[in-house]
């Protein structure tokens, strides 16, 4: 029989349901739904059927909520600064300056151009 996932009492079931209903971000909304259902005593399998998320993801959301509270829910990609750029700031400026100039043949920068010549 599937196990229950325990939810830390950061928020009451009523507060979780309120935040679920008021959330404008769809990811945050589904996370509050997941945690709210688990806090009501639903099993992971039941929550999976209701939400459409797999059991592993439901457990991850529950762990994040237990560890960080409501601040841990929602789309965390908003806080991801992304990868380090391939070009340094100086290289980006030089490229921008070069692209603002006319191409060596006087045309447009529409493809590879010979810079010697």
Express each pLDDT in 83-113 by its tens digit.
899 999 999 999 888 888 877 777 777 777 6
Does residue 117 have a pLDDT over 60? no
Express each pLDDT in 35-82 by its tens digit.
999 999 999 999 999 999 999 999 999 999 999 999 999 988 877 888
Residues 6+ apart with CB under 8 A from 96: none
CATH topology of domain 13-76: Arc Repressor Mutant, subunit A (1.10.10)
């Amino acid at each position: 029989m599937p196990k229950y996932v325990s939810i830390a009492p950061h928020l009451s079931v009523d507060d979780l349901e309120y935040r679920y209903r008021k959330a404008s971000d769809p990811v945050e909304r589904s996370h509050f739904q997941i945690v709210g259902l688990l806090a009501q005593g639903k099993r992971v399998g039941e929550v999976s059927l209701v939400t459409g998320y797999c059991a592993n993801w439901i457990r991850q959301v529950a762990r994040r909520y237990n560890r960080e509270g409501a601040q841990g829910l929602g789309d965390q990609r908003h806080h991801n600064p992304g990868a380090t750029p391939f070009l340094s700031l100086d290289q980006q400026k030089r490229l921008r300056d070069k692209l603002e100039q006319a191409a060596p043949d006087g045309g447009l920068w529409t493809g590879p151009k010979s810079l010697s010549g």
